Amino acid sequence: MSVTHKIQRTANAPAGPPSDLETKVAQSLIELESNVPDLKNELRPLQISAAKEIDVKGGKKAIVIFVPVPQLKQYRKVHSRLTRELEKKFADKHVVFVAQRRTLAKPTKTSRVKQKRPRSRTLTDVHDKILEDLVYPTDIVGKRTRIGVDGSKLLRVLLDSKDANSLEYKLDSFASVYRRLTGKEVTFEIPVQPTE
């Protein structure tokens, strides 16, 4: 299978030829498909729509791999294993999978819209889904919006403490990626469970 078959440009993915990073990610998926027999059947139908490299605090980088929304469920079946394998291939880079979602503008009086805008295409819903995609397989147990005196908003996201040891080192990456994709400030916290 060639690299071009692994890259499927969806609605709001960048047009044009694939970048070097996208080619490397697609090539890595093809190599994993051929070298790891357990993942072969799961990886064969999967494609990516885009990939971006984002700077994280501390001089590290994170790779955001955008996947078509219909394939997100299939990606989640092999998410943890695939993330681990890709992080081995791309040394010192965190790998995150996010669905390539699209937002529709809010209808106005002058816009000629034939049908109602679906809830899944609103900006709020798309940002919430991006947040869920970032922290998958962990669950979000709480969200708090803190508004500063100057009017700035900070979103505090509380993650499930059962995955604390596997996610602790990625929290800065999650915050940087979310800030880059949505423009919103966010902090991720894992609440400490009291020991009895």
- pLDDT, position 149: 92
Greatest distance between any 2 Cα atoms in the chain: 61
Structure token pair of residue 193: 């469970």
CB proximity list for 77: less than 8 A, separation 6 or greater? 42
The whole-angstrom separation of Cα 53 and Cα 64 is 6
Across the chain, the runs of DSSP E, i.e. the strands, are 50-55, 61-67, 93-99, 140-147, 153-159, 186-189
pTM score, whole prediction: 0.85
Question: What pLDDT is attached to residue 104?
Answer: 82
Confidence of residue 121 (pLDDT cuts 50, 70, 90): confident
Give, in degrees to the nearest 5, the angle at Cα 65 between 143 and 80: 70
Q: How confident is the model at residue 11 (pLDDT cuts 50, 70, 90)?
A: low
Give strand pairing partners of 64.
52, 96
What is the C-alpha to C-alpha distance for residues 100 and 98, in angstroms, rounded to an integer? 6
Spatial distance between the Cα atoms of 94 and 170, rounded to a whole number of angstroms = 7
Lookup result for tokens 């992080």: 87
Give the mean model confidence (pLDDT) for residues 9-19: 71
Q: Is the pLDDT higher at 14 or at 155?
A: 155
pLDDT in tens, 85-113: 888 888 888 889 898 888 888 888 888 87
**pLDDT score of 1:** 58
pLDDT tens for residues 58-77?
A: 788 888 988 888 888 888 88
**Sheet with 61-67, edge to edge strand ranges:** 50-55, 61-67, 93-99
Q: What is the pLDDT of residues 130-178, one digit of tens each?
A: 999 888 888 888 888 888 899 888 888 888 888 777 788 888 888 888 9
Share of the chain above pLDDT 90, in %: 2
Give the mean pLDDT of the chain. 83
pLDDT of residue 115: 83
Percent of the chain scoring above 70 in pLDDT: 92
